[in-house]
């Protein structure tokens, strides 16, 4: 147990002293997770609302496909993205391999089905009489959709937090597509795996503390948002 306690205090020293390699991984993680969430939210929210609000032929098949995508292994997503953006892939000319943008592409695919499926599930819980009431009050299509989105706002926020947590903690995509390059594409999770494997237990704890702190801050923000 001594090495755990010593590693914990050493981790606190690394964080307070501003260790450059540690904070470089933190910065890369925040950049790539924000970028991937931006892409997945822009695509996932409209798709989720459409899937939950409207009935159409083949809807059950789409939901089945979406539920299957929720269980996609991150290493499989990383493999597919690697094949697409490598020099022999269709997007090889864009030089996305071993970049934060390439990692964000893979993480967007990881977050998209989460946001879409949970948003659709939230929209499906809307009272069927709400739409009729809004129409009787003279509301247009835009007002009806915005009102429905507002009614399930907590479900949507929960979907976003769930997706963000999955993106922040994934390893496979970041390792395969980013290459775990120090000062460039090394994220918190890949750095933890590397430093622990090298026996640098304190560095792993330091990065783990940052990861837990970010998750705690997100959940606290959600709590105050719901309370407000």
Please list the pLDDT of the chain residue by residue as tens digits (228 residues).
Answer: 566 677 677 777 767 777 788 888 889 999 999 999 999 999 999 999 999 888 888 888 999 899 889 888 999 999 999 999 998 899 988 999 999 999 999 999 999 999 999 999 999 888 777 777 877 777 777 888 888 888 888 889 889 988 998 898 899 999 999 998 888 999 989 988 887 787 777 777 788 888 888 888 877 877 776 666
Burial of 226 (0-12, 13-18, 19+ CB in 10 A): exposed
Q: Give the pLDDT confidence score for residue 225 in this predicted structure.
A: 67
Burial of 45 (0-12, 13-18, 19+ CB in 10 A): middle
Homologous superfamily of the 24-227 domain (CATH): MetI-like (1.10.3720.10)
Q: Whose CA is closest to 169, among 39, 36, 67, 24?
A: 36
The C-alpha atoms of residue 68 and residue 81 are separated, in whole angstroms, by: 18
Q: Give the pLDDT confidence score for residue 226 in this predicted structure.
A: 65
Q: Give the pLDDT confidence score for residue 175 in this predicted structure.
A: 92
Q: Where are the domains of the chain?
A: 24-227
Length of the chain: 228
What are the backbone dihedrals phi and psi of residue 185, each rounded to the nearest 5 degrees, phi first? -120, 10
Question: In what helix (H) or strand (E) does residue 226 lie, and over which residues does it extend?
Answer: helix 201-227
Burial of 44 (0-12, 13-18, 19+ CB in 10 A): buried
The token duo for 22 is 């540690």
């Amino acid at each position: 147990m001594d090495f755990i306690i010593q590693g914990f205090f050493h981790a606190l020293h690394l964080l307070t002293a501003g260790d450059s390699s540690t904070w470089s991984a933190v910065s890369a993680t925040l950049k790539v997770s924000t970028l991937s969430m931006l892409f997945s939210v822009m695509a996932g929210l409209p798709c989720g609302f459409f899937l939950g609000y409207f009935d159409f032929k083949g809807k059950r098949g789409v939901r089945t496909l979406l539920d299957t995508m929720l269980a996609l292994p991150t290493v499989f997503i990383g493999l597919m993205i690697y094949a697409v953006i490598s020099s022999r892939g269709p997007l090889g000319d864009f030089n996305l391999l071993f970049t934060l943008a390439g990692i964000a592409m893979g993480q967007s695919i990881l977050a998209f089905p989460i946001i879409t499926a949970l948003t659709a599930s939230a929209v499906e819980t809307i009272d069927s009489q709400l739409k009729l009431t809004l129409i009787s009050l003279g509301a247009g299509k835009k007002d009806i959709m915005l009102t429905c989105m507002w009614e399930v706002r907590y479900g949507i926020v929960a979907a976003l937090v769930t997706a963000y947590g999955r993106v922040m903690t994934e390893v496979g995509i970041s390792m395969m597509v980013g290459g775990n390059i120090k000062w460039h594409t090394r994220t918190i999770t890949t750095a933890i795996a590397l430093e622990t494997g090298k026996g640098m237990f304190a560095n792993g704890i330091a990065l783990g503390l940052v990861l837990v702190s970010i998750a705690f801050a997100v959940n606290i923000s959600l709590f105050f948002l719901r309370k407000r």
